């Protein structure tokens, strides 16, 4: 852990420090964005950052475009991470991984929950592995019994899902021995049923599926299309979804920066590991050029880290599992991604900040692994730039102050907190006034609790939105809700960023909110 005086310039005496800063600002002044110009002198940006996220651009989050990018994937309701439950039509019971995994598959459960839920790993549009609650894979053993014991999937853990033409929720499951799974009894599921079927309710090889969860992230779109088609679809998306005119709009709206979510594979562009595809780096380069033209800052935000730092699609997880931070090698690999981004963009005038990691979550991300990574990631950025801010995101569902003292030990560090009046039952029944009061009172004290008087670390509300659980709110209600958030989050010492620029859901689209007079930026 770093102490308060051991930042990058901590050992340099003050007069020398000032001299260095003056020289470096003189050198850099002509090219730098306003946002970045006075970092070294004042700590905080010259004008507070009022940014917008470019969500759903270089890192897929399907809902942002209403999942339309996934339209042309065959069987696009059977993507990686899709959660299926299987009810045997003859037993009228659900398949279950007995004990949650590590034992047999049975067909004796009246109700379905975790142990009765199977997560897909997609091989192709018809071929899958099934991962159970305990993370084992379903397979067929040497005597034809169906078990969940393998920790990695091989040929015996590979199945075809054959869907009934007239009702796609009815399936048969063909094992690698060519035979179909059948629920002979509640206690015996075997891979030994022949090809013929009339799909009747008396056929022990027929199962009715419930689809109880799905992911629409980068893993799903890339693996769903396959590398050739995914490359076409995504390159088209990257070059059309956000263009120079968006940067012009952002600048003319009174915003001064963009936060750009990226995935770890951008560092191995143009040939990232499968299933990811290359080309997003060129788009990020374009963002820097446009930002320079319109005098905007760029926050490069590592939103998806190797192994996934949370179970959400925006961490590019395959099936909801989160393995980031579980080994030193994984942390070192993530630091290399930061090193790549810092070295590539350190010389660009519009580089405002590097955000080391978005929304890490326990138990994958422990406090110890996060601190180790933030220390090493900070050092990696500083090897290339002494002026870019380094943003450290709080862990979700952890104490908001757990990183305060730690982050305060780094010069130019910023703590990122995300404030949504959503995603918790606390907000389910709040009225318009209660939502507004919550921001005015609770959020302002939350923000005050992480905002140090000496500006170390600086604070950033890196995601917020003028959306809530209220139904039927008026335009005036939305205007007031947006305004109170602007006012309160305007007290963050680094600034804020709206989630997101464009979205098929209007209130989540800052562009729509500005163009339709719901959000007015005080200039």
Per CB under 6 A, residues contacting ligand NAG are: 104, 110-111, 141-143, 145, 147, 426, 438, 441-442
> CA of 115: how far to CAs of 111, 131, 409, in Å?
10, 10, 45
**Gap between the Cα atoms of 217 and 228, Å rounded:** 18
- Which residue, 186 or 367, is less far from ligand NAG as judged by CB? 186
**Gap between the Cα atoms of 24 and 37, Å rounded:** 10
> CA of 281: how far to CAs of 136, 221, 261, 267, 306, in Å?
35, 18, 12, 8, 17
Number of neighbours of residue 108 by Cβ within 10 angstroms: 17
Nearest distance, CB of residue 475 and ligand NAG, angstroms = 25
Sign of CA dihedral 405, 407, 408, 409: positive
**Gap between the Cα atoms of 159 and 190, Å rounded:** 13
Nearest distance, CB of residue 485 and ligand NAG, angstroms = 16
Nearest distance, CB of residue 104 and ligand NAG, angstroms = 3
**Gap between the Cα atoms of 89 and 86, Å rounded:** 9
- Which residue, 389 or 419, is less far from ligand NAG as judged by CB? 419
Nearest distance, CB of residue 433 and ligand NAG, angstroms = 13
Give the CB-nearest residue to ligand NAG.
Answer: 145
Q: At what angle do helices 218-225 and 227-241 cross, to 10 degrees?
A: 130
Nearest distance, CB of residue 111 and ligand NAG, angstroms = 4
> CA of 31: how far to CAs of 27, 233, 246, 503, in Å?
9, 35, 22, 32
- Which residue, 141 or 452, is less far from ligand NAG as judged by CB? 141
- Which residue, 20 or 104, is less far from ligand NAG as judged by CB? 104
Nearest distance, CB of residue 400 and ligand NAG, angstroms = 13
Q: β-strands 188-193, 180-185: how paired?
A: antiparallel
- Which residue, 38 or 442, is less far from ligand NAG as judged by CB? 442
Nearest distance, CB of residue 442 and ligand NAG, angstroms = 4
- Which residue, 142 or 245, is less far from ligand NAG as judged by CB? 142
Residue 268 has φ and ψ, to the nearest 5°, of -115, 20
- Which residue, 142 or 523, is less far from ligand NAG as judged by CB? 142
């Amino acid at each position: 852990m770093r102490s308060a005086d051991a930042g990058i310039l901590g050992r340099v005496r003050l007069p020398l420090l000032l001299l260095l800063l003056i020289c470096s600002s003189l050198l850099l002044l002509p090219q730098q964005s306003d946002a970045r110009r006075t970092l070294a002198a004042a700590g905080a940006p010259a004008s507070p950052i009022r940014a917008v996220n470019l969500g759903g651009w270089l890192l897929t989050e399907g809902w942002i475009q209403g999942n339309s990018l996934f339209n042309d994937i065959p069987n696009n309701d059977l993507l990686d991470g899709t959660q299926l439950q299987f009810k045997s039509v003859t037993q009228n019971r659900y398949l279950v991984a007995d004990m949650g995994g590590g034992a047999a598959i049975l067909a004796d459960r009246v109700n379905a929950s975790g142990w009765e839920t199977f997560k897909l790993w997609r091989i192709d549009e018809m071929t899958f592995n099934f991962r159970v609650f305990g993370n084992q894979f379903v397979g067929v053993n040497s005597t034809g019994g169906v078990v969940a014991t393998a920790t990695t999937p091989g040929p015996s853990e590979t199945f075809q899902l054959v869907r009934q033409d007239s009702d796609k929720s009815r399936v048969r499951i063909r094992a690698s021995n060519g035979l179909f799974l059948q629920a002979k009894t509640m206690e015996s599921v075997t891979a030994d049923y022949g090809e013929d079927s009339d799909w009747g309710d008396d056929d022990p090889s027929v199962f009715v599926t419930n689809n109880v969860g799905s992911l629409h992230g980068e893993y799903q779109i890339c693996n769903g299309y396959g590398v050739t088609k995914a490359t076409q679809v995504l390159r088209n998306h990257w070059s059309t979804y956000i263009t120079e005119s968006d940067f012009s709009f952002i600048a003319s709206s009174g915003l001064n920066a963009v936060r750009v979510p990226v995935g770890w594979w951008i560092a191995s562009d143009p040939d990232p590991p499968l299933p990811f595809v290359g080309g997003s780096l060129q788009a990020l380069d374009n963002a820097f050029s446009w930002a320079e033209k319109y005098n905007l800052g760029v926050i490069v935000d590592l939103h998806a880290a190797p192994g996934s730092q949370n179970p959400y699609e925006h961490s590019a997880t395959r099936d909801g599992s989160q393995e980031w931070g579980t080994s030193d090698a994984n942390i070192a690999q993530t630091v290399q991604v930061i090193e790549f981004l810092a070295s590539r963009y350190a010389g660009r005038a519009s580089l405002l900040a590097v955000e080391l990691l978005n929304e890490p979550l326990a138990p994958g991300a422990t406090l110890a692994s996060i601190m180790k990574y933030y220390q090493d990631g900070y050092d990696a950025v500083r090897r290339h730039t002494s002026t870019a801010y380094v943003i450290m995101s709080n862990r979700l569902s952890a104490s908001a102050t757990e990183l305060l003292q730690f982050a305060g030990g780094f010069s130019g560090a910023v703590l990122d907190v995300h404030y949504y009046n959503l995603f918790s039952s606390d907000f389910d029944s709040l009225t318009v006034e209660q939502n507004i009061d919550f921001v005015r009172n609770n959020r302002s004290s939350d923000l005050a609790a992480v905002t140090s008087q000496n500006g170390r670390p600086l604070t950033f509300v890196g995601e917020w939105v003028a959306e809530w659980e209220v139904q039927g709110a008026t335009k005036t209600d939305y205007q007031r809700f947006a305004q109170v958030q602007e006012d309160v989050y305007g007290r963050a010492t680094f600034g804020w960023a709206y989630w997101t620029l464009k979205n098929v859901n209007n209130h989540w689209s800052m562009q729509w909110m500005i163009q339709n007079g719901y959000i007015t930026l005080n200039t």
